[in-house]
Every structure is written in C-alpha cells, then in structure tokens.
Amino acid sequence: MRNKFHTVQISSVRSLTDDSAEISLQIPSEISALFKFYAGQYLTFRVHLNGEEIRRSYSLCSAPFEGAYRVGIKRVDQGVFSNFALDQLKVGVPIEVMPPTGNFKYQPNPEVKKNVVLFAAGSGITPILSIAKTILHDEPNSSVTLFFGNKGFSKVMFAEELEQLKNNYLTRFRLYHVFSQESQGIPIQKGRINQERLIALYQAFLTHETIDDVYVCGPEEMIYSVKSFFEEKGLPSNQIHFELFHSGNSTKTNASEEKRKISTCDVELIIDDDLISFQMDESDKNLIVAAQRAGADVPFACKGGVCCTCKAKILEGEAEMLVNYALEPEEVEMGYVLTCQAIPTSNRIIISFDE
Ligand code: FES
C-alpha cells in the first residue's frame, strides 16, 4: 500500500563529505512496483528514538533508469534524524520507509529537445541530481545547465558524480559551482545564489538562450529569488518548478485561529479502502492531528506544508489550508489539500487519501 511504511534494508553507505553520506536501500521485489518513482521525488523514513516517532523526507538522488534507491543525507546541527542516520545506519540495518511521492518531478520524453536550467544549494542537490541524470540519459537531444551553491568545494555533495556527468555529456551538460566562502578565481561564481548573483550568472552563461524549464531546490530565499528572476525574464510560472527544503514559516498559530470558522466537524476519512469516522473539535489543530487522535494511521512527514506526504482529496465539504508550499494550483482546484495544514470550514467533510 502506498500510504504505508515498509521495512527495507540498508544496502550501502558511502561518505560524500565530512558531514554527509549517500545511503542506498534494498527494495524487495515484492514491493518494487510500489516504489516506482520519477526523478525529483522523495522517500519518507520513520524511526523511533527515545520513545518518540520521528519522520523525515529525503529526495532520491538516484535516477529511475538506474534501478536504485539512494538518498543523500547531510548532518544538521541538532538534527535528530540526520545524526541518527549518519551515525547508526550501516549495511544490513532495517529501516521503515514509505513509497516515493512528491510533486517536484521530471517526466522525460525522448522526443523533445529542451534547454533545462537547474539550481541547487547544499543538500538541495539530491532531487536536482536525479533530474539532471534523467534528462541527460533519457532525452538525447536535451541539454542541462546546473548552478550549484555551496560554502566551498569541501562541502560539495556528489562532486565526483557531477564531474563524471560532465565528462560523459560534454556538449549537453554545463556545471557551474557557486561558492559563498571560497574563491574559484571567477568573481561571478563567488557569493550566495541571490538576485544579484542571478543577474551576473544569467548575463555570463544564459543570455540569448531559450530556456524551457527551470528546476530549483534549496532554501526559501534562493527559491524565491530564482522564481521571481525568471518570471521577470518572461518564463511562465508553470515552467519554474521548485522544492522547498525549509519553509521558515512562523505564523501558523495565528493563521490557525483566523481560519477556524466552525467549532466542530464530522469527518469521514477514507484510507486504503477503510472508512474512519470521527468528530474534529477546536482542540485539533488540523485534520492530521484529528485523524491521529481518532486512531487513523495517516501518512505525513514534515507537518509544515512543505512535502505533500499528507495530501488527500476532499470529496464532500470544505477546508482551508494555513500554508501550502507543495500542491500545484490545479491540484487545489481539484479539491486536494495538505491535511497537516487543513482546517474544515464546513460542519461535515469527507476526505480520501486513496484518490
Ligand atoms: S506532512 Fe508535509 S505537507 Fe503535510
């Protein structure tokens, strides 16, 4: 089942930098159909540490054509999961993981000839690497330009793999490192990828080119700089795709109170063909919290409106989201919500995780 966790084994661990590693998973053949994925999608892991359940999502850095499941994990100060993963995950260790999901994805078409520009910062390279490999391998006429921001060369994840890609696709893959704390002797490639740097990079490397798609993954500031820069250049917003790693959102509590228009709601929840009924009241912050209180085993990871693991469709009734960094406008139009952000605005609601 797509919404459930499956226990799989770690098949290899490879150090990438002094604070990151690539972890490979062995997906048993009985569940391999559930684990089919598109470049750019992510896996959600679950562990129990000191009596607490921890869930974290990590983008796959492998490409679908490679037939492998690999994620890149970077150590985060005080990061419970990343410290556990880098210190304790070894070959043969079992771990719970949910099948791949996510709206940030690239569906290759061997017939097209595209010019795709990618931006990544730090561990944001993981889905971007998968997308780059997929385009270069599956679209023989397309070309890729990647701008990759880091503090310096020692922090570059997948440095060797990127160099190898450059060698393999000399005429179709351009790679520009941008270092914030280290000079490469080229002033335009020094600094953070922000509005000012984008102007310089664009003038140096992209002027007079027709760009078909832009994919960006990293912190919020970089994402919004890239998005507004290319919108100003005339690229339609549906050709600018982004995956946010950290929302930085801090206004949820007030927003929660503002959106709450009713005191109770009768909820019917469909998941894996089961129907669960419960009443949500003012003490429940959102639909996920209410569903968990009612004992439903619902899918979620970030609980911050970023990842879309908790996506469900409203079949009847209405709800509003506090924030939405993950769903496309068309999905919202079709009735999908992030249940970790959704508060019903009708007295009765039916939602399905199976749609
Ligand atoms: S759990 Fe990540 S968006 Fe809801």
CATH topology of domain 115-244: Rossmann fold (3.40.50)
Is the minimum distance from the CB of 271 to ligand 1 under 6 angstroms? no
The continuous run of DSSP H or E covering 213 comes out as: strand 213-218
Domain regions of the chain by residue span: 6-100, 115-244, 252-352
Cα 324 to ligand 1 centroid, rounded to whole Å: 9
> Burial of 115 by CB count in 10 Å (0-12 exposed, 13-18 middle, 19+ buried)?
middle
Ligand 1 center from residue 302 Cα (angstroms): 5
**CATH number, span 252-352:** 3.10.20.30
**Cα–ligand 1 centroid distance for 143 (angstroms):** 33
Return the CATH superfamily for domain 6-100. Translation factors (2.40.30.10)
**pLDDT score for 247:** 43
Distances (CA, A) of 125 to 147, 149, 162, 183, 351: 10, 9, 10, 21, 34
* CB distance 101 to ligand 1 below 6 Å: no
Q: Give the pLDDT of residue 258.
A: 54
Residue 301 Cβ < 6 Å to ligand 1: yes
Rounded to whole angstroms, the Cα distance separating 161 from 169 reads 12
> In the numeric block, which tokens belong to residue 355?
């749609």
300 CB within 6 A, ligand 1: yes
Quick one: DSSP state of residue 239? G
Quickly count: other Cβ atoms within 10 Å of residue 187's Cβ. 9
pLDDT of residue 246: 56
Q: List average pLDDT for each run of 10 residues in the chain, which is 355 residues long.
A: 87 97 97 96 94 93 98 93 95 96 95 98 97 98 98 97 97 97 93 96 95 95 95 95 66 50 89 92 92 92 90 96 92 96 95 93
Return the pLDDT at 242: 93
User: Of ligand 1's atoms, which has the minimum distance to the CA of residue 306?
Assistant: 3
Cβ of 321 below 6 Å from ligand 1:
no
Amino acid at site 179: F
